[in-house]
Amino acid sequence: MYALADCNNFFVSCERVFRPDLEGKPVVVLSGNDGCVIARSNEVKALGVKMGAPLFKIRDLVKQHNIVCFSSNFELYGDLSSRVMRILSHYSDRCEQYSIDEAFLYFDDNRSPANLQKLARQIVVEIRRGIGIPVSIGLAPTRTLAKVASKYAKKYAGYKGACLIDTEDKRIKALSQFEISDVWGIGRRYSTRLQRASIRTALDFANQSSEFARNLMHLPGLRTWQELNGFDAVKVDELARHLTITRSRTFARHVTDLPTLESYIADFCSSCARKLRQQKSVCAGMLVFALPSRFETILPSSGVLVDEQKATLTGGGGIFAEVRLPVPTDLTAELLEYALAALRARFVGGYPYKKAGVILQNILPANSQIERLFGERDRQKEQRLQKVVDSLNEKRGKNTVILASQVKTEQMKDKLQSRMLSPCYSTRWSDLITVKC
């Protein structure tokens, strides 16, 4: 049996741990630079504020309903996340952290499902009391079903934090009321295709033939289909490796010159590459984009654009470059070379850029690197250099050693608009909460 433990409105909940006065009040957390909403409390969701909404578009609502806004404080969220993960790992030898606020736990079969549900409810209480974070747990024979169950646990208080799908009846009932677009692994692109084939619920999809799933969505689709039908099909190492790595930013002020844009791209490349090395993978392709303000919302997070969108973009000064790397790599400098070359080739002056980013794609396990013997680059040497840089940054703080092209954004960081940043209550001696005596 799998359990998916998912923290509710995690970033908002983190802020509330040290601000209990904000329980029950509308709260949002904003992206870096305070551009967009990246976490919403239930009260804010009820007001109809969508994930990713730009702050300037909801200013009136914020005022009208006294929505409390926070800049994102990843030091705080990271610390509370690791506390939650440590508690979860007490309960299972196989605890796979999936994201900052989610983890899969595996339980073998010597416990009855009813007992597991009881245990899950205990875990929910323990984390809620001990750390202050509300958690929902879904229990089911596969990870995909456990995810479905966790959504029900979150939605209906009657489950007391833990929902169990252990029988065929429950599986069918749960899937029949579950929108296909909300199923783990389906994604926006496939859900429109599925809806066109009048597949609306998870059950509609699960009841198709396996060939249907495979033809439409290849191997990942087949896996999702299997998982929804109760067969454990997702592999752990695939789980850990994210399919794409995205770093992007909406700028507080328009960027019009190439050097500043380059510096941002360098920042994104460096951060993406660090993530890539952390998860021990390499990538064979990437997208580099920069969008003038009127196209700000055009790019979906996965970076998949249809041809007409691409045409509109590039016609209006938008930069959208698909880069294929000759050899899969995880080296910051190498990724950056290609990214900057692509950017420079497409940059036309005169457009006010509002958003830019880098999306790494075609991510493979690092051991599949076939290159080492080929090419003019001395990769071993570069890898040694990269290791030294990484360890320095790990020891002395994130940006101790940076690429020269990042200097400009580094200088601007002092001016970064994080005006609503909360203190790092749980990680810095200077930021502890104060108790009145």
Residues that bind another protein (CB under 8 A): 20-21, 23, 83, 86-87, 126, 129-132, 380, 384, 387-388, 391, 425-426, 429, 432-437
Please answer whether residues 27 and 15 qualify as being in contact, where contact means their C-beta atoms are separated by less than 8 angstroms: yes
Q: Is the CB of 89 or the CB of 260 nearer to another protein?
A: 89
Question: What CA–CA distances, in Å, run from 284 to 45, 157, 185, 330, 360?
Answer: 38, 45, 21, 9, 8
Residue 224, token pair as written in the block: 């999702």
> In the complex, what is the shortest distance from the CB of residue 123 to another protein, in angstroms, rounded to a whole number?
12
CA 363 – CA 256 distance, rounded (Å): 32
User: What is the greatest pairwise CA distance in the chain?
Assistant: 69
Q: Is the CB of 20 or the CB of 350 nearer to another protein?
A: 20
CA 414 – CA 418 distance, rounded (Å): 10
Q: Is the CB of 114 or the CB of 388 nearer to another protein?
A: 388
> In the complex, what is the shortest distance from the CB of residue 418 to another protein, in angstroms, rounded to a whole number?
23
Q: Is the CB of 89 or the CB of 314 nearer to another protein?
A: 89
> In the complex, what is the shortest distance from the CB of residue 81 to another protein, in angstroms, rounded to a whole number?
11
Q: Is the CB of 215 or the CB of 391 nearer to another protein?
A: 391
Half-sphere exposure of 350 (CA within 13 A, CB side): 4
Three-state DSSP class for residue 99: strand
> In the complex, what is the shortest distance from the CB of residue 345 to another protein, in angstroms, rounded to a whole number?
35
Please answer whether residues 44 and 28 qualify as being in contact, where contact means their C-beta atoms are separated by less than 8 angstroms: yes
> In the complex, what is the shortest distance from the CB of residue 97 to another protein, in angstroms, rounded to a whole number?
14
CA 174 – CA 98 distance, rounded (Å): 23
Q: Is the CB of 119 or the CB of 291 nearer to another protein?
A: 119
Closest CA relative to residue 170, chosen from 182, 195, 187, 153: 153
> In the complex, what is the shortest distance from the CB of residue 82 to another protein, in angstroms, rounded to a whole number?
9
